[in-house]
């Protein structure tokens, strides 16, 4: 049954093809052309790439500008944090050197109890120094996040600008209708329309890449921050 079904389908398809060939041969090129449709003639670029309204575009532009402003704040806060950590690292190193000197003094005096007490305190101070150095090591990643955020905001604005240009082009296309019966051709694209839409597609791609890089910067920062906190917690609650 399966074999007979395939034969039947093949026969029907071959019959259609043969019939079309015969009709084409009999009626000439004009009739043959009428059998071929132009699917793109029924579509406009707004079907290919939908765009938002001017109001929505303006609203998102405000958010993008806010991201750029916030990136500057992130960068400034990161700078202050690095300076603070650098100062505390320097202080802690001085304190550890002072404790090392006291250990020597206690050893010279033969005071083992005092020497062990100071060593215990010195271990605690070295753990604190290690935590500060770990924080200092990844503090530059805040700059990476700020840069990624700024780049994303700028790419977002470029994307929205291109999107608005597309909206404007489509508004102009709608006015090109020849009459009430010519609605389909109202949105038929010109070379400038294609240029605007290609620019839009490129801007969307760059915005997507910027978002991806921003996400990677966030993951890198949060991952290292979690590691620093985990190590810090272990040192703080380990006897």
Mean pLDDT of 30-55: 61
How confident is the model over 28-53, as a mean pLDDT?
Answer: 59
* Domain span including residue 214: 51-236
Q: What pLDDT score does 18 carry?
A: 33
Q: How confident is the model at residue 40 (pLDDT cuts 50, 70, 90)?
A: low
* Cα–Cα dist 6/72, whole Å: 69
- The answer to whether residue 94 scores a pLDDT higher than 90 is yes
Do the domain assignments include residue 4?
A: no
* Residue 19 within any structural domain of the chain: no
| pLDDT category of residue 232 using cuts at 50, 70 and 90 | confident
- Let me know: does 236 contact 184? Beta carbons within 8 Å: no
Residue 43: predicted pLDDT: 55
Residue 211, pLDDT > 70, answer: yes
31 occurs within a structural domain? no
Query: Residue 92 falls within a domain, yes or no?
Result: yes
Lowest mean pLDDT among 9-13, 67-71, 117-121: 9-13
CATH number for the domain harbouring residue 179: 1.20.1270
Distance (Å, rounded) from C-alpha 193 to C-alpha 78?
44
* Residue 172 within any structural domain of the chain: yes
Mean of pLDDT values over 41-55: 65
- Does the pLDDT of residue 84 top 70, yes or no? yes
| pLDDT at residue 85, as a whole number | 87
Give the percent of the chain with pLDDT over 70: 71
* pLDDT 10s digits, 216-229: 999 988 888 888 88
Among the residue ranges 71-75, 103-107, 181-185, 215-219, the one predicted with the least confidence is 181-185
The C-alpha atoms of residue 166 and residue 57 are separated, in whole angstroms, by: 11
* Domain-embedded: residue 1: no
Q: How many domains does the chain divide into? A: 1
Does the residue 95 lie in any domain? yes
237 versus 5: the higher-pLDDT residue is 237
DSSP per-residue string spanning 134-160: HHHHHTHHHHHHHHHHHHHHHHHHHHH
């Amino acid at each position: 049954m399966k074999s007979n079904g395939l034969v039947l389908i093949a026969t029907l398809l071959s019959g259609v093809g043969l019939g079309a060939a015969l009709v084409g041969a009999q009626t000439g090129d004009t009739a043959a052309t009428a059998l071929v449709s132009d699917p793109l003639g029924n579509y406009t670029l707004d079907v290919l790439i939908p765009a938002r309204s001017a109001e929505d575009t303006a609203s998102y532009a405000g958010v993008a500008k806010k991201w750029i402003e916030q990136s500057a704040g992130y960068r400034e806060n990161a700078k202050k944090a690095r300076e603070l950590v650098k100062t505390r690292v320097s202080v802690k190193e001085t304190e550890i050197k002072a404790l090392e000197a006291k250990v020597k003094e206690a050893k010279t005096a033969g005071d083992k109890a005092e020497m062990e007490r100071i060593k215990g305190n010195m271990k605690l101070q070295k753990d604190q120094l290690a935590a500060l150095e770990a924080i200092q090591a990844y503090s530059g990643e805040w700059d990476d996040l700020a840069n990624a955020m700024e780049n994303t905001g700028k790419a977002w604005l470029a994307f929205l600008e291109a999107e608005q240009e597309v909206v404007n082009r489509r508004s102009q296309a709608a006015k090109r209708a020849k009459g009430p019966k010519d609605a389909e051709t109202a949105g038929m694209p010109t070379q400038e329309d294609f240029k605007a839409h290609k620019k839009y597609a490129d801007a969307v791609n760059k915005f997507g890449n910027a978002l991806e890089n921003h996400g990677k910067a966030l993951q890198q920062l949060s991952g290292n921050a979690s590691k620093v906190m985990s190590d810090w917690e272990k040192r703080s609650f380990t006897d």
